[in-house]
Amino acid sequence: MQEVLFSDARSTRLAAVDRRLTDVIALSATRQDRLSPAHQLVLSMLGNRTYDHQSRAAYTQLLAAFGSLENLSVAPAQSVMPHIAAVNFADIKAARIPAALRQIRAAGDDLDMTFLACLPVSVALSWLGSIKGVGRKVAAAVLNFSTLQMPALVLDSHHLRVCARLRIIPEHYSAERAYDLLMPLLPAHWTAADIESHHVKIKILGQQVCHHAQPKCPVCPVRALCPSAGVMAQTHTDSALARAEMQNVTEPAVLTGTVSGRQEDTESGAIHARCR
């Protein structure tokens, strides 16, 4: 019973945080130009620990250079490397991305991954996770951000940090462990689009206010809901300051919520964050 009550409390807090962020961050309705699952996979793999404009540029260069993902899948790493040199861990990604595409082709003769939509989300995540170099963040991005639009929560470092400070997950949880804990806490009525917008809002909060080293607790719009706020900051200001703090939050067109800093798992789209 105690565990049930604890889970209910975390679920209630998570929903309240999302409602509060909805009050201070406005998102456009939906994305219009989603990528196919295979293209999303490539972009998400490029995006790990890399600035969004760099990964998008690298993705565009790969398509221009090789013409198709089929051609990219048979390209040697040394041919891929010059086109993605700007991303972090480019040497590793230059080998892993073609290898991942080859693994997908070996499983089904082509790169059509639409069959994932017929699987339970947990099974689809496991299938993607069996691909070398594909962790839970990338797998969830493929399911949620692509044309599949499946209900899977993308968890980047910002999301993990914010949820830990909200005491919804323990500190230092991996994306896999945090995913397994957080997904059952999401409101049951949330659609895949709701889960995506939740990810965007939490990520914006993490980038603009809930920084790793120096969180801006006095201007945080969810500080009244955060058990860590009193510990991490000694002063409090009116919530209007939170709006002012987030006034310049504008999500780049190539990103699903990151407004500065690193992209974790994203693709191009039409969600744009702005302050009301």
Domain at 219, CATH number: 1.10.1670.10
175 and 83 belong to one structural domain: no
State the CATH number of the domain containing residue 43. Answer: 1.10.340.30
Judged against a pLDDT cut of 60, whether residue 272 lies above it is answered with no
Average pLDDT over residues 199-220: 94
16 and 67 belong to one structural domain: no
- The length of the chain in residues reads 276
112 and 161 belong to one structural domain: no
Residue 75: domain span? 37-145
State which of 83, 110, 145 marks the end of a domain.
Answer: 145
Query: pLDDT-based confidence at 250, cuts 50/70/90?
Result: very low
Q: Which helix (H) or strand (E) holds 105?
A: helix 90-108
- According to DSSP, the β-strands at 26-27 and 262-263 are unpaired
Residues 6+ apart with CB under 8 A from 192: 144, 149, 150, 151, 152
130 and 104 belong to one structural domain: yes
Judged against a pLDDT cut of 80, whether residue 104 lies above it is answered with yes
Q: Do the Cβ atoms of 166 and 178 come closer than 8 Å?
A: no
* Model pLDDT, residue 2: 39
Query: pLDDT-based confidence at 92, cuts 50/70/90?
Result: very high
Burial class (CB in 10 A: 0-12, 13-18, 19+), 2: exposed
* Model pLDDT, residue 269: 29
* Model pLDDT, residue 30: 55
101 and 172 belong to one structural domain: no
Q: 26: which strand partners?
A: 274
137 and 110 belong to one structural domain: yes
Judged against a pLDDT cut of 70, whether residue 266 lies above it is answered with no
- According to DSSP, the β-strands at 26-27 and 50-51 are unpaired
* Model pLDDT, residue 274: 32
Using DSSP's 3-state secondary structure scheme, residue 52 falls into helix
Q: What's this model's pTM, rounded to 2 decimal places? A: 0.81
State which of 112, 145, 178 marks the end of a domain.
Answer: 145
Half-sphere exposure of 9 (CA within 13 A, CB side): 13
User: Which segment of 62-71, 203-212, 233-242, 264-273 scores lowest on mean pLDDT?
Assistant: 264-273
Q: Do the Cβ atoms of 268 and 33 come closer than 8 Å?
A: yes
User: For 170-192, how does the pLDDT look when each residue is reduced to its tens digit (9 = 90+)?
Assistant: 999 999 999 999 999 999 999 99
Give Cα separations from 12 to 4, 20, 188, 203, 230 (angstroms).
12, 12, 12, 19, 20
115 and 140 belong to one structural domain: yes
Average pLDDT over residues 62-81: 98
Residues 6+ apart with CB under 8 A from 222: 17, 20, 21, 166, 205
Total structural domains within the chain: 2
C-beta contacts of 255-260 below 8 A and 24+ residues apart: 255/52, 256/31, 256/145, 256/154, 256/196, 256/199, 256/200, 256/203, 257/199, 257/200, 257/201, 257/203, 257/204, 258/52, 258/203, 258/204, 258/207, 259/204, 259/207, 259/208, 260/207, 260/208
Query: pLDDT-based confidence at 49, cuts 50/70/90?
Result: confident
